């Protein structure tokens, strides 16, 4: 392990120098932005400040392959609001608050629905290990409906279902988990986030790696681990690959375990280094802020002077490059982006319209305001319903940049698909929340049943107008950002040979006191961006003028549209279940009555977005035997560790740091002998996802960033959210 630790340390040290440099630039940009403002159009829709707190996204049963026992086992699984997949032995264990088997963070994973596809990936990951025709593969699935979570470095997870419909549902749910966990750097981080992503880009460009990067997934430590493995992986493969023994399938299995073990070691080292540097820059921050506040005007003047000199030097070359290699392709790239994105946003509008209209019909047919609380609780979670949102998300799957991907070094379109899908979910939730707020205001007038239905229709029409405006603004911004993401790396790579070597001479133009806030490399990139920005803005503007895909012109402004609407959002969150579930009755029943118990049960059940629970007794073909006691780790672990280094001891990670979706949750130390710890120890994932403040409540299973965390017997009791008990029943919503 010596050379691995040394190599990892070298990569981290080099990257973290980039990070320290970018931190000052990001801090200056953030403070300047606060003073000068954004100039972005005012959003018409409201946004929910505490979305989906304490909710279960999905629950149900699936079969998981146990690598240690080589058996498929039925697992009760649920996805809480932080999108970590939690696995229990069965539903009874969950209801009895037994600690979960595992919590999986899916950042960086891909979903495969075919064993053949998986075997091909595995065969390509280690040359010379492709199994011969007719030999037993590394994995057999007893049904035709597998779901495999594949990661280029971390361990893999194998699931299967009995029916295609179940596979489709779980695929939508797991894809939602991946989408959410990939987006691991909080968008409200105005300094640390931009500093980190810019440092990643600068570091990779220093290695001549331009363009989008598929493994920019998860939080900072996960991304940093992926960055190290991108360099370390090929060397590790060359060093250890020839020393693996056994049949091709066994060598494949060993390699997966080796890669996962190394990934965890890298993760721990990256975590320690990053936290140390982050603490250091945050300690310096107050002093840097004081300098920026005092000298803001001088720093801006100095930067503009530097930019003018760089512009004079590179402009002739850059303009020729843009005119010959970028400008002719902007319309076709934009059109390729606009079609699936706009179809997705149209589908969001249609789904929202249908759900509200159906609710209105139900209000008419089922007793008016008495049922409103129940309907509105369900509607409030529409954006987080993976199955109902799937028709919106899947529109992006048709995105193709055929021919353009190779020209512009776009390794994958997944980064654009995922970003558009996140925008769709945000806009759906904004529309729903605005509808809730406006309807709640109308209900204060005490409408009759007929008046309520008319009010719902009027509010729906108002919200749709706001949605159309915001949808246009969000899509135009997304198109501009995507076009820049495609063109800027290409231009930098083209201009690099003639321009980059000349940049150091511009350093003398920066005052030493301002050197932390102005970097030549960043200013050079901004100048390059400006050379192509005019063409990008023009292309998007022309699309809007032609009303392509329902885009609005920039000059389109919604004047005096609900000027007091944003004041309504400042109030306490609306609890529809508590406020309106029993408003029409002539007195509440006693809590001891069966009716009250049923109502309480319904409320608890409504907090679950969707549930698909299978029969606990159902077994897979050829897997009828009872589950054996938890076996010890297989002997191959010792062999793998011996390959890595003589005497390497696989240690359990220390107690996990708080599970962060913004605010601390409980901690759960990992036991020395975990029930499912096959081969390497449970992966060190610390934050499931930075971002909004949440609290899982019991259990608060610590989850780990590179795979799964197996809870100890001393863990907090399980989060007890009621799910459907009947076989194959879905909680409609």
Q: How far apart are CA 333 and CA 344, in angstroms?
A: 17
Q: How far apart are CA 677 and CA 671, in angstroms?
A: 10
Token pair belonging to 405: 């991907």
User: For position 69, which CATH number holds?
Assistant: 2.30.29.30
Q: How far apart are CA 546 and CA 481, in angstroms?
A: 20
Distance of CA 442 to the CA centre of its chain: 36
Distance of CA 495 to the CA centre of its chain: 33
pLDDT at 727: 32
Residues in the chain predicted with pLDDT less than 70, given as ranges, are 1, 38-40, 51-53, 127-136, 367-368, 554-572, 577-733
Spatial contact of 359 and 375, defined as CB atoms under 8 Å apart: yes
Residue 482 CB contacts under 8 Å (≥ 6 apart), including other chains:
333, 337, 416, 419
Q: Is residue 433 in some structural domain?
A: no
Q: How many CA atoms lie within 13 A of 492 on its CB side?
A: 26
Q: Is residue 119 in some structural domain?
A: yes
Q: Is residue 152 in some structural domain?
A: yes
Helix/strand/coil for 642: helix
| Angle, helix 2-36 to helix 192-206, in steps of 10 degrees | 130
**For 566-579, how does the pLDDT look when each residue is reduced to its tens digit (9 = 90+)?**
666 666 677 776 66
**By residue range, what is the domain housing residue 105?**
58-183
pLDDT at 555: 61
Q: How far apart are CA 47 and CA 294, in angstroms?
A: 35
Q: Is residue 323 in some structural domain?
A: no
Residue 44 CB contacts under 8 Å (≥ 6 apart), including other chains:
465, 466, 467, 469, 470, 558, 561, 562
Q: How far apart are CA 541 and CA 228, in angstroms?
A: 41
Query: How many other C-beta atoms are found inside a 10 Å radius of the C-beta of residue 440?
Result: 17
Residue 513 CB contacts under 8 Å (≥ 6 apart), including other chains:
291, 295
Task: Name the DSSP letter for residue 382.
Answer: G
Q: How far apart are CA 183 and CA 419, in angstroms?
A: 9
Phi, psi of 226 (to 5 degrees): -65, -40
Residue 305 CB contacts under 8 Å (≥ 6 apart), including other chains:
509
Q: How far apart are CA 725 and CA 440, in angstroms?
A: 33
Beta bridge partners of 104: 85, 708
Question: What is the number of domains present in the chain?
Answer: 1
Q: Is residue 80 in some structural domain?
A: yes
Q: How far apart are CA 552 and CA 424, in angstroms?
A: 18
Q: Is residue 102 in some structural domain?
A: yes
Phi, psi of 663 (to 5 degrees): -120, 155
pLDDT at 547: 81
Q: How many CA atoms lie within 13 A of 17 on its CB side?
A: 7
Token pair belonging to 326: 């970028």
Q: Is residue 63 in some structural domain?
A: yes
Task: Kindly give the pairing relationship between strand 608-613 and strand 56-66.
Answer: parallel
């Amino acid at each position: 392990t010596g050379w691995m630790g040394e190599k990892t340390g070298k990569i981290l040290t080099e990257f973290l120098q980039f990070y320290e440099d970018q931190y000052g630039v990001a801090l200056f940009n953030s403070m300047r932005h606060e003073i000068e403002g954004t100039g972005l159009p005012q959003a018409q829709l409201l946004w929910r400040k505490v979305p989906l707190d304490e909710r279960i996204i999905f629950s149900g049963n699936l079969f998981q392959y146990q690598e240690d026992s080589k058996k498929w086992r039925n697992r009760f699984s649920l996805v809480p609001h932080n999108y970590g997949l939690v696995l229990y032995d069965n539903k009874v264990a969950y209801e009895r608050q037994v600690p979960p088997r595992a919590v999986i963070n899916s950042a960086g994973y891909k979903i495969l629905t075919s064993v053949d596809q998986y075997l091909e990936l595995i065969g390509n990951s280690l040359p010379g290990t492709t199994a011969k025709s007719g030999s037993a593969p590394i994995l057999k699935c007893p049904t035709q409906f597998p779901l495999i979570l594949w990661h280029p470095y971390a361990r893999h997870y194998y699931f299967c279902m009995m029916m295609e419909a179940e596979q489709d549902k779980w695929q939508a749910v797991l894809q939602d988990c991946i989408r959410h966990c990939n987006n691991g750097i909080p968008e409200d981080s105005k300094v640390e986030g931009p500093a980190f992503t810019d440092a990643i880009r600068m570091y990779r460009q220093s290695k001549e790696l331009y363009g989008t990067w598929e493994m920019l997934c998860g939080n900072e430590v996960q991304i940093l681990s992926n960055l190290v493995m991108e360099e370390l992986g090929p060397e590790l493969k060359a060093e250890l690959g020839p020393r693996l023994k056994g049949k091709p399938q066994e060598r494949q299995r060993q390699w997966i375990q080796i890669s996962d073990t190394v990934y965890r070691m890298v993760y721990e080292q990256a975590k320690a280094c990053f936290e140390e540097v982050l603490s250091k820059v945050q300690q310096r921050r107050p002093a840097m802020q004081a300098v920026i506040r005092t000298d803001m005007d001088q720093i801006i003047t100095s930067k503009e002077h530097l930019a003018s000199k760089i512009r004079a030097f590179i402009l002739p070359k850059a303009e020729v490059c843009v005119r010959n290699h970028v400008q002719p392709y902007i319309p076709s790239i934009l059109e390729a982006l606009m079609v699936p994105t706009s179809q997705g946003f149209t589908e969001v509008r249609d789904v929202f319209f249908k759900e509200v209209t159906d609710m209105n019909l139900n209000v008419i047919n089922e007793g008016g305001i008495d049922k409103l609380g129940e309907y509105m609780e369900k509607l409030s979670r529409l954006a987080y319903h993976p199955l109902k949102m799937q028709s919106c998300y899947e529109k992006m799957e048709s995105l193709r940049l055929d021919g353009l991907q190779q020209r512009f070094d776009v390794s994958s379109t997944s980064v654009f698909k995922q970003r558009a899908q996140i925008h769709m979910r945000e806009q759906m939730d904004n529309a729903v929340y605005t509808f809730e707020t406006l309807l709640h205001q109308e209900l204060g007038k005490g409408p009759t049943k007929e008046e309520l239905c008319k009010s719902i229709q009027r509010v729906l029409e108002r919200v749709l107008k706001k949605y159309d405006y915001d949808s246009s603004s969000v899509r135009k911004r997304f198109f501009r950002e995507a076009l820049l993401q495609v063109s800027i790396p290409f231009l930098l790579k083209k201009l690099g040979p003639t321009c980059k070597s000349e940049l150091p001479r511009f350093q003398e133009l920066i005052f030493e006191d301002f050197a932390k806030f102005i970097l030549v490399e960043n200013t050079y990139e901004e100048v390059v961006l400006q050379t192509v920005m005019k063409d990008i803005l023009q292309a998007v503007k022309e699309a809007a003028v032609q009303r392509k895909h329902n885009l609005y012109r920039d000059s389109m402004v919604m004047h005096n549209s609900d000027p007091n609407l944003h004041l309504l959002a400042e109030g306490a969150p609306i609890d529809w279940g508590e406020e309106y579930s029993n408003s029409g009755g002539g007195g509440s029943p006693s809590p001891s009555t069966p009716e009250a118990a049923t109502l309480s049960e319904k409320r608890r059940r409504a907090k679950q977005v969707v549930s698909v629970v299978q029969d606990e007794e159902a077994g897979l073909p050829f897997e009828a035997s009872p589950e054996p006691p938890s076996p010890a780790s297989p002997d191959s672990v010792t062999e793998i560790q011996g390959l890595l280094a003589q005497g390497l001891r696989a240690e359990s990670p220390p107690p996990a740091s708080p599970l962060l979706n913004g605010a601390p949750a409980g901690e759960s130390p990992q036991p020395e002998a975990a029930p499912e710890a096959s081969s390497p120890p449970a992966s060190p994932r610390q934050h499931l996802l930075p971002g909004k403040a949440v609290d899982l409540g019991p259990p608060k299973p610590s989850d780990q960033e590179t795979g799964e965390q197996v809870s100890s017997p001393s863990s907090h009791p399980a989060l007890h959210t009621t799910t459907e008990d009947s076989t194959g029943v879905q909680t409609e919503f």
